[in-house]
């Protein structure tokens, strides 16, 4: 089961490489020369160290002394101006949006510095979508060494065989493969000149295949959806099998019957419900001016499919759904060591208490930072929890 997507930045999220090539092509044309584009691509694009200096090359072609420093400075200024207005490449925004809805983690692994990547991601509105942004400062070696991808996997707490890398260049693909990852190649107009990419799957553009369709190509056909009428029996079966009691299944049914469900999300494989998570409304005493929050649970996966990441996908997808609804916070009871990876902290850190105790197992997550600042209070679950003994 795929848990994460790791993207290169330059040439993959935005085509930052074509503007630089165009700058040198125009400079060469002014001197009556043709820019050696293919040689530049082989020597510079995706390389750790650029092995071709376009100005030195132009000097040798023309036999004229050139102001190397001034030409490089002008090219740099022009490149930054052009790159600052670049849109994302086709399909990128849809992939990032779909990934969040599908409960996937996201990272960037780039050989460029944070000063460039972070600024560009913020301009594009993508910065906050990523769980980790790994750049040249974060690894001892750059691509084609695997260090950047290994650092991204470590930051995401995801195994290499449960992540997909997206790259536009052969060096990037070699780096991801050396980290143990499968790779989707998406060449841009510049890296396409290097010939076929050594990827597991190559797309001309991310707009050519939806993310669910791409995941299916890698054997991941998990569907996450708000419960449908045909899912109800399967949801009950999942909860009964996962907990070996009827209490949680009865709670879900009772909340559904009484209209106490904020979200009931089913995980479906081959038309069979294999996992489920429930969100119900909670209130605060004294009353919270912004309304209330949500209680998460139960969350369940069929025993024979546990440990494959279905629960993690359900958790992230459910939280993302609630975040998009502009809900305030989520509380739950569970193992702090497990739920902390999703951002949960002890409820008492926000001044919250509950009828289920106030130890580390009672945890909370602000869906939007600051929503619980200065609030505090006692969380009250819907009465169906007490009625069913949950």
- 70 and 117 co-located in one domain: no
CATH code of 210's domain:
3.40.50.1000
- 234 and 327 co-located in one domain: yes
Domain end, chosen from 83, 109, 136, is at 83
Mean pLDDT computed over 334-349: 94
Active site residue 8: yes
CATH code of 228's domain:
3.40.630.30
pLDDT at position 6 is 98
Domain end, chosen from 176, 192, 217, is at 217
Between CA 200 and CA 182 the distance in angstroms is 6
129 Cβ contact list (under 8 Å, min separation 6): 96, 100, 106
* Average per-residue pLDDT for the chain: 93
- Give buried/exposed letters for 65-89 (b at 16+ CB in 10 A, else e): eeeeeebeeebeebbeeebeebebb
- Give percent of the chain above pLDDT 70: 98
Active site residue 253: no
- 31 and 102 co-located in one domain: no
- pLDDT of 80 strictly over 90: no
pLDDT at position 51 is 66
Structural domains counted in the chain: 3
- 9 and 156 co-located in one domain: yes
- 184 and 234 co-located in one domain: no
Domain region containing 286: 223-388
Identified catalytic residue from 8, 15, 220, 231: 8
Domain end, chosen from 217, 233, 251, is at 217
Express each pLDDT in 280-318 by its tens digit.
999 999 877 777 899 999 999 999 999 999 999 999 999
- pLDDT of 46 strictly over 90: no
> What is residue 260's three-state secondary structure?
coil
- 371 and 227 co-located in one domain: yes
- 282 and 372 co-located in one domain: yes
In 10 A of CB 315, how many CB atoms? Answer: 22
Mean pLDDT computed over 76-101: 92
pLDDT at position 17 is 85
Mean pLDDT computed over 205-226: 97
């Amino acid at each position: 089961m795929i848990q994460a997507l790791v993207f290169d930045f330059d040439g993959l999220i935005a085509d930052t490489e074509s503007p630089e090539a165009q700058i040198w092509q125009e400079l060469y044309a002014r001197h009556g020369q043709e820019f050696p584009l293919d040689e530049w691509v082989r020597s510079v694009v995706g390389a750790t160290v650029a092995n071709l200096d376009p100005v030195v090359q132009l000097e040798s072609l023309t036999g004229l002394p050139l102001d190397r420093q001034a030409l490089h400075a002008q090219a740099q200024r022009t490149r930054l101006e052009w790159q600052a207005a670049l849109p994302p490449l086709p399909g990128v925004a849809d992939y990032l949006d779909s990934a969040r809805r599908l409960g996937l983690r996201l990272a960037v692994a780039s050989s460029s510095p944070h000063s460039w990547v972070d600024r560009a991601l913020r301009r594009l509105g993508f910065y906050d979508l990523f769980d980790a942004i790994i750049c040249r400062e974060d690894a001892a070696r750059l691509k084609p060494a695997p260090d950047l991808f290994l650092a991204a996997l470590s930051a995401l707490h995801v195994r290499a065989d449960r992540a997909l890398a997206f790259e536009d260049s052969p060096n990037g693909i070699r780096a991801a493969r050396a980290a143990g990852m499968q790779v989707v190649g998406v060449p841009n107009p510049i890296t396409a000149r290097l010939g076929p990419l050594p990827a597991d799957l190559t797309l001309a553009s991310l707009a050519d295949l939806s993310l669910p369709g791409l995941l299916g190509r890698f054997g991941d056909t998990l569907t996450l959806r708000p419960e449908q009428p045909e899912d109800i029996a399967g949801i009950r079966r999942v909860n009964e099998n996962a907990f070996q009691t009827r209490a949680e299944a009865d709670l879900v049914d009772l909340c559904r019957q009484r209209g106490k469900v904020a979200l009931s999300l089913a995980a479906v494989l081959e038309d069979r419900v294999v996992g489920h998570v429930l969100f119900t409304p909670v209130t605060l005493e004294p009353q919270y001016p912004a309304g209330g929050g949500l209680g998460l649970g139960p969350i369940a996966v069929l025993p024979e499919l546990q440990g494959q990441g279905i629960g993690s996908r359900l958790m992230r997808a459910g939280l993302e759904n609630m975040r998009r609804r502009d809900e305030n916070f989520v509380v739950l009871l569970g193992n702090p060591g497990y739920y902390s990876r999703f951002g949960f902290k002890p409820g008492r850190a926000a001044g919250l208490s509950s009828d289920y105790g106030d130890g580390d197992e009672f945890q909370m997550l602000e869906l939007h930072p600051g929503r619980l600042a200065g609030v505090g209070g006692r969380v009250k679950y819907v009465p169906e929890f007490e009625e069913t003994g949950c």
